[in-house]
Each structure stands twice: as structure tokens, then as C-alpha cells.
Amino acid sequence: MPQTTILLPTYNCAKYILKTVESVLNQSYSNYELLIIDDGSTDNTEEIVKSISDKRIVYLKNSKNLGIVKTLNKGIKLAKGKYIARMDADDIMLGNRLQEQINFLEVNPEHGMVGSWYQIMDVGGKIRSTLKTTLTHEDIKLALLFGNQFAHPAVTIRTDLVRKLKYSQEFLYTEDYDLWCRMAEVSKLANLPKIHLSYRWYANNSCSRNQRELKANVVKLLSRELDKYEIEHSTEELMLHAAICFNYGKRFFNSEDRFSQLNRWLDKVFSASKVKVLHNRLGILICRQQILAKIYH
């Protein structure tokens, strides 16, 4: 039995999938199955995958397009590994990701998931930026109140944990962010300070195509998370909070009035009783500083 299942859903990614699979096969860690679930592609994805000779590759094709959430949950159910490492069909795995993430989970049994830093590349593979996400569980849990702290294709999760929680159709296109928030309530999470992924962002990828539904579901998720901390919020305050999450920065916080609104809202959030009980003063201070630095960078 493989120690790890690399779960790679794909839909019409024939243009990129060969390089993606090669980046996985080039990893030093080898105790895995690469479970590729084709969600009804109409291009030549199947032909490309089947041309790759490696017995660790398991290729399955849905008889019809089920969507990302159902396809991911199908993969979770079929996974043979103790761990599930996520990967997308148009990204590139970097460094010694698999071995380093598996090592971390092996020696840190209280952690249910580990991610890594990542870089953004354009459609042609040119690197545009690097994202260094929050590292420790204590900081991640608070930072999740303000935005997603993980690159979905850069995480490795304990299979038994994700089978219990699963992805939710209710938060389509932000199903990962929802899962991390629920996971943080029952297990520790971490990011490694290594760049282990090149994430491809282009106009036709799923998140880019479905921005309206994605943002609506993120706002719904943020409201739920604020409720967990018993932070009352008006529609106006929720939109302000969402602007932080969406990294609108100076485009939104572009006046003295908006800046005052922002500081009043952060005062309200960070002075909430549950926030002060669950998080230490230094962590709260650092989180606030990071938010302001990101907005006014």
C-alpha cells in the first residue's frame, strides 16, 4: 500500500498536465499513488496521461462532469494512502515537497495538515509573485478569519481526518478555505517556509472564471467565521471585512474615512472576548500589523 495518495483532479488541462505529472514524478519521495481523476474532459487529457509509463499512476474518468467538490470527495474515498497530497493539473510541484511535508506530519501527529509557500506564474509559466503564508497553527487560526492561508495544491492532509470532514458543495470555488476553517477547529495546521508550488493563474482557470460565485461564497464563509467568534457585524462591516480578505488594498481603502472605518473594525474584531481568550496579545498584534502592511504595501 502506498503511504501517500497524490490527488489530482483534472478537466480539459491537456495543455499543462504532462509537465504537472513530470514535476510529481521528479520528486525524491516515491512511496505514493498518483490518483488522476478526469472530470469528463473533452480534450486529449486521457491520451496524454495514458502515454506516461509509471505504475504509480491511477487514471479514472468520470462518465460526466461532476464538478470539483464531488470529484475531490470521490478521490478522498478512493485514496489508499495514509496521507493525501493535493495537486492541480496545471501547476508545478517544486523542491522536495512530498518528502518534507510527509516528514513533518510523521513527527507532528497533532497536525492534521501541512502546506507550503508558493509562487504565482502566468499562463506562459513566468513567475509573477511569491506568497509567504502564515506558518504556525496559532497564527494560522487567527489569520483564517481574514483570508485563506493555504494554496490548495500545496497541502498534504491526513486521510482519516479529511474523510471525516470532506469538501462542502455549499462553498463551491472556496471549498478549500471552508475545509481549512473547519479543520482548524479539530486539528493543528501549519505551513512550511519553503516554496513548494508554482500556481498557474490565467483567465480561463476555474477560480478566475467563477469570480462572482467565489466571492459570494467567501463572504458567506467570513460571516460564519465571525459568528463563531461572536463578533456582530452589519452588512457594511462584512463588506469591509471582505475587502481585507480579497486584498483590495489601496483601491478600496483609498480615503481617510475608509482608513478610519478599517481601524474601527479591526478594533472591534481584535477586542472581541473570544478573540482575546483564544489568541495571545502578541499574536493579535502581529496579525493586525500584517493586515495593515498588506493593505498599504
DSSP string, 228-269: HTT----HHHHHHHHHHHTT-GGGTS-SHHHHHHHHHHHHHH
Residues 77-119 pLDDT 10s: 999 999 999 999 999 999 999 999 999 999 999 999 999 999 9
Residues 13-46 pLDDT 10s: 999 999 999 999 999 999 999 999 999 999 999 9
Q: Which fold has domain 4-207?
A: Spore Coat Polysaccharide Biosynthesis Protein SpsA; Chain A (3.90.550)
The residues, any chain, with a CB within 8 Å of residue 113's CB and separated by 6 or more, are 150, 155, 156, 157, 158, 161, 180, 183, 187, 189, 190
For residue 57, which of 11, 1, 6 has the smallest C-alpha distance?
A: 6
Task: Please state the pTM of the whole predicted model.
Answer: 0.93
Quickly state the pLDDT bin for 296 (edges 50, 70, 90).
Answer: confident
CB atoms within 10 A of CB 93: 23
CB atoms within 10 A of CB 129: 10
- Reported in sequence order, the residue ranges of the chain that DSSP labels E, i.e. its strands, are 4-10, 32-38, 57-61, 83-86, 92-93, 111-121, 127-131, 156-158, 188-200
Angle CA 33–34–39, to nearest 5: 135
- Phi/psi for 292 (5° steps) reads -65, -40
Residues 189-243 pLDDT 10s: 999 999 999 999 876 655 556 778 999 999 999 999 999 999 999 999 999 999 9
Among residues of the chain, what percentage have pLDDT more than 70?
97
Type of residue found at 235: T
CA distance 200 to 19: 12
pLDDT at 123 over 90: no
Domain residue ranges in the chain? 4-207, 229-295
Please state, in angstroms and as integers, the Cα–Cα distance from residue 65 to each residue in 40, 61, 78, 205, following that order: 5, 9, 18, 16
Which whole number is the average pLDDT over 158-173?
97
Quickly state the pLDDT bin for 253 (edges 50, 70, 90).
Answer: confident
pLDDT mean across residues, the chain: 94
Residue carrying the nine cell digits 502592511: 293
CA distance 11 to 38: 6
Please state, in angstroms and as integers, the Cα–Cα distance from residue 80 to each residue in 56, 62, 76, 153, 167, following that order: 12, 19, 9, 19, 18
